[in-house]
Chain A
Amino acid sequence: MASTQHVLLSPAELAYLHASLSLTPPIRPDGRTPTQFRPLVAETGILPGTNGSARICFADGTEAIVGVKAEVERTKLSRVGPADELEGTRLVGDVVEGLAGAGGTENITEKEEIATNGADWVELSVEIPGYRDDDAGTAFLSAMLAEALLADGEFARKLYINRRFHWKLYLDILLISPPLSYPLPLLSLTTHLALLSTRLPRLKSEGDEDPFFDDDWAAAPYLYPRRKGDSGKATSKPPVSLLVMAVGNSIIFDPSKEELAVADVALAVSIGEALSSSSTSLGKKATTEDAMNLDDGEGRSLRLLSVRTIDPPSRLTPPGVPNATNSAYGAATATQKQPEARTAELEAVEGVWKAPRGGAKPLVMAALVQKVLEKGGVADEVLDALDAVDLV
């Protein structure tokens, strides 16, 4: 649940929007097809002082920048005994799996302790102009983005340096325009790009000694390693969260503010790429090598990381008044004592707005998620398009 911003639209507008979006195919107020995103301008490497950064600007003027900073931090372990190497690394591997939210019940206390540390390896801050840092909506957004990132399962492993040290990532996500529409897709896409362009200094030390790094920035490997060869595409991707909504029988992607105002259901669906079994071996180096062996031809398999319902503002909208009960419509109509109090309970009349009531139907939810995960569907194309952005 999230408190989305309240939109002020007249009942007549809402009724019109609802009618036009419920058509098959839906007619969106900006003429897009149901699965079409707003055109966007994207670039990376805009902040020279960061490990990775990106900027995305939607055509409607909303714009976000994300900066990623990395810092070496001592891993808090309760027991740093002279345990054998293999077990130590395995331990972290388990922890990473524990982070995936599978809810491992067999975890012993020590593992859990590290698991909480693992979640601390990433610090995410979201800033929306005009909203407080601890505003429910902002907190929800950052929790959602962090959740998707950690649910990936592979992420914490990328930050692992050795048993005593790890990278700590600070993600600063800034919306630099007023929030004209629910900013989740924008922030998520920008974060995705920033993480794709993130590079960490190359590790020169070995084993558990104090880490020291190659100061040649050109040699710094990407956080999400690239394939060798001309494509230069990332072998694994950061997750991406998409906003999907349903009105009537239509499923609509990347809704604008007006569209969200008439949504029956709105979902934030986070997806990542499924891990291939070969890349589950430990250590960043191993992953890189494995990744290089992967051939370009294989299809992408998407993995659902999380689904969150977004409370659409439609539920808070005032209902329209049908002409039959409108005392200002037609002088002859008898005046009631409290006209507004009655209207909420009326039957649906065509052309009159009535806020959706009740929860989302499981079938609709399933259809929404299905539509996102479809092979060759929207998520696939979004990931491809983001991949095509030049990384600086």
Chain B
Amino acid sequence: MPITIIAPKQVRHPYDAQHDIASDSSSDVDSDDSIAGGADLEGDISMKSRPSKKARTGGAPSTASKFDIVTPGEVITDDPQWMRGHGTYIAPATSSIISSVAGTVTRTNKLLSIRPLRARYTPEVGDLVVGRIVEVQAKRWRVDVGATQLASLPLSAINLPGGILRKRTETDELQIRTFFAEGDLLVAEVQQLFQDGGAVLHTRSLKYGKLRNGVFVAVSGMGGGGGVVRSRRQVWTFDAANDGGQIDVVLGVNGYVWISKHVETPEGVIDKTAGITNMEENISATMYSSQNDRIEPETMREIVRVRGVVTALVENGLRVDEDMLMRGYHEAVEMALVSNDGQDDVYLGGERGEQLAAALTGI
């Protein structure tokens, strides 16, 4: 079946009950709230529904908790006993707490905060991120890390070939594109933050550098329980099922994920350079390669399976970390065994993803 069409899920409308009350109480409603009558030609929402919204602002957020999602500008409460937390603000000269993002209200004792539905990544020093070069400047790269601003990677913050502690020269500046060019993916660490939230990255470790031999998947939105969370291990290698060999996973804290074939230190480089005195130097040379190694179809299939698990987790609002991903992967392998196409079936979209998520949360 090449195409699956799913009927839309019934959306629970939080304001439905209130709309009814509003239209009952006021007889001079100019446009029906019940929609069946036709489109609202003025294009604006009936003003009559506003008072109902007002009605609940007076109360404590206990009323608000019935309505899960708040929108920017919505008054959560005007009771002064509450303290404002993240995602809220207090309008000047009032005591009402207003939401500044779209999200769900959470209460911690007397602290009110909003967990955003979608949020951009906020860099913190020490975060491991996966980024994509979008701009090459004279002495630095601008890197997309999914934050509000592009991060910058100075030429002085990378391992230059020919020695880990070499000083950068003018030749390096001229050849800046041979290290990273536009579109290249890299894994790096946040070294420093600017006042405005912009990040400065560095790749001065053998763990970091250009990415190859695999696929990229961007997992956006960290709110709502889904997405990549900061955890103990962001990078790991595991043995794939079905003769897939070893697979590396890099979970960038920013929600960019890289899944690739695990490559041992390539022999070619060691042969080429004369002395093997400086191991680090040799490995660092492979850092700027954009040539893929030979990858077996079995490995590719398992890489796709891992990618499918990541997207299925995100689509179903589950967090993505090592534990979940590995459990999901083993579950997916099991699921493939019972499917029609056998173990080669790596599709995890649509219903399969929901099945997978159900199996994971059910345990």
Q: Which residues of A come within 8 Å of B, CB atoms?
A: 8-13, 15-17, 19-20, 23, 27-33, 35-43, 47-50, 55, 57, 59, 253, 317-318, 320-323, 326-332, 335, 339-340, 349-353, 378, 381-382, 385-386, 388-390
A317 proximity list for chain B (CB < 8 A): 183
CB pair B301 A352 closer than 8 Å:
no
User: A12: which B residues are within 8 A, CB to CB?
Assistant: 184-185, 210-213, 290-292
A10-B132 contact given A15-B292, A331-B281, CB 8 Å threshold: yes
- Counting chain B CB atoms within 10 Å of each CB, which of A12, A32, A35 scores highest? A12
The chain B residues found within 8 Å of chain A, CB to CB, are 1-9, 35-39, 41, 132, 134, 161-163, 171, 175, 177-179, 181-185, 210-216, 268-269, 272-273, 281, 285-295, 297, 300-301, 304-305, 307-308, 311, 315, 345-351
Interface of A, secondary structure class, is: loop
Q: Are B8 and A48 in contact (CB under 8 A)?
A: no
Please give me the residue from chain B that is nearest to A49 by CB atom.
B39
- Assess whether A8 is in contact with B212, with CB atoms less than 8 Å apart: no
Q: Is the CB of B39 within 8 A of A328?
A: no
Most buried by B among A11, A17, A390: A11
Q: In the complex the two chains form, is B183's CB within 8 Å of A330's CB?
A: no
Q: B14 to nearest A CB, angstroms?
A: 19
Contact A339 B162 (CB under 8 A): no
From A37, A48, A318, B3 is in contact (CB under 8 Å) with A37
| CB-based nearest B residue for A380 | B2
A386 contacts which chain B residues (CB < 8 A)? 5
CB distance from B259 to the nearest CB of A (A): 10
CB distance from A342 to the nearest CB of B (A): 12
Among A19, A20, A327, A388, the residue within 8 A (CB) of B178 is A327
Min CB gap A341→B, angstroms = 11
Residue numbers in B under 8 Å from A27 (CB-CB): 297, 300-301, 304, 346
The one of A11, A30, A352, A389 in contact with B304, judged by C-beta atoms closer than 8 angstroms, is A30
Neighbour of B7 across the interface among A8, A41, A50, A350, CB < 8 A:
A41
A256 CB, min distance to chain B CBs, angstroms: 11
In the docked arrangement, what's the CA distance between A119 and B359, Å? 54
Q: Are A8 and B182 in contact (CB under 8 A)?
A: yes
18 A-B residue pairs with CB within 8 Å: A10-B185, A10-B210, A13-B185, A15-B291, A16-B214, A30-B304, A31-B305, A33-B2, A39-B350, A43-B8, A49-B38, A55-B8, A253-B2, A322-B291, A323-B289, A339-B175, A351-B292, A385-B3
Query: Does B171 lie within 8 Å of A389, measured CB to CB?
Result: no
> What is the minimal beta-carbon distance from B144 to any residue of chain A, in angstroms?
8
Which of B39, B292, B346 sits near A31, CB closer than 8 Å? B346
- Contact between A327 and B2 (Cβ–Cβ < 8 Å)? no
Q: How far is the CA of A253 from the CA of B35 in the complex (A)?
A: 38
A351 contacts across to B, CB distance below 8 A = 291-294
Assess A29 versus B290: contact at CB under 8 Å? Given A42-B5, A332-B272, A340-B177: no
